[in-house]
Amino acid sequence: MTTLIITRKHSLTEALAIVDAIVAHGSFPTKIAQKDAMGRFSRMYEDNARQALLDACKANGETEAFWDAPHNLSQFGKKATSRFAAYPEQLNAIQTLRNAYDTLKALPVVKVVKKPAAPANPDKVVKTCACCFREIAVRNGTMVHHGYQRTGWGFQTDSCLGFHYPPLEVSDAGLRAMIEQLKNHIARCNTRLDNVEAATSLTKTLRGRKGAPGRNLVVTQDEPNFASLKTDMKREIQREKESTERTLDMFNEKLANWQQTEEAA
């Protein structure tokens, strides 16, 4: 059923062919899929067929026809058919849409039965990552590749540093590596703070529309908003630095209290 989807790109002829294929299949996998398919014919009526009917009425001098033509395809029944009997070409087009709509509506929804999950691997070894502290599989003595969300920073990384190291139960090497990384990041924050403080011009990245990349705006020290921009940038870097320092304190505490609980495999 995943290929039997009617989109805006499909012509009426193509859409009707997809309806035939859906009917041959005999059901929809979900109510949402059924609603989407019916909705496509409703939009064809609202966007095209209804307007064609109104245009024909207007050309025939019926300026009040707007109020008699139903806004929704599902409302176009015997009363509307009788009202616009003088326009058979337009009625035929609308009836084609309504027939497809009713056909889709009459089909049952039969949920696809999901295959049972594969049984757990009894030989899989799961231990604690020394950098993100999640339960992660171990292969050849070190954590398998995985990502994680940096504490306090709120974004997902593609690779956790811990996948280079043995699990926390076996070694504190991952803790020590993470501590060094955090120290380096704090040092970089300090450098950025110094650079912003000494800068005579600053670059602000403007937010793009709907996720598009933003453009860079250079603000020089002669401009009135330079001081406020410098304050904002320093505040943002300082906030990042303080968050990293809190994370560093947590890792230092874990290192101070670390004890080996298992032997290396």
- Tell the burial category of 228 from Cβ atoms under 10 Å away from its Cβ (0-12, 13-18, 19+): exposed
For 239-247, what is the mean pLDDT? 94
Are 74 and 99 in contact by the 8 Å Cβ rule? The answer is no
| Cα–Cα distance for residue pair 136/68, rounded to 1 Å | 65
Quick one: pLDDT at residue 154? 44
pLDDT higher than threshold 80 for residue 157: no
> Is 0.95 surpassed by the pTM of this model?
no
Q: Which of 126, 258, 234 is nearest to 179 (CA)?
A: 258
| Weakest mean pLDDT among 68-82, 86-100, 118-132, 162-176 | 118-132
Mean pLDDT, range 172-177, rounded to an integer: 96
Q: Is the pLDDT of residue 124 over 90?
A: no
Identify whether the C-beta of residue 255 lies closer than 8 Å to the C-beta of residue 175: yes
DSSP calls for 82-103: HHTTT-HHHHHHHHHHHHHHHH
Task: Note the pLDDT of residue 128.
Answer: 95
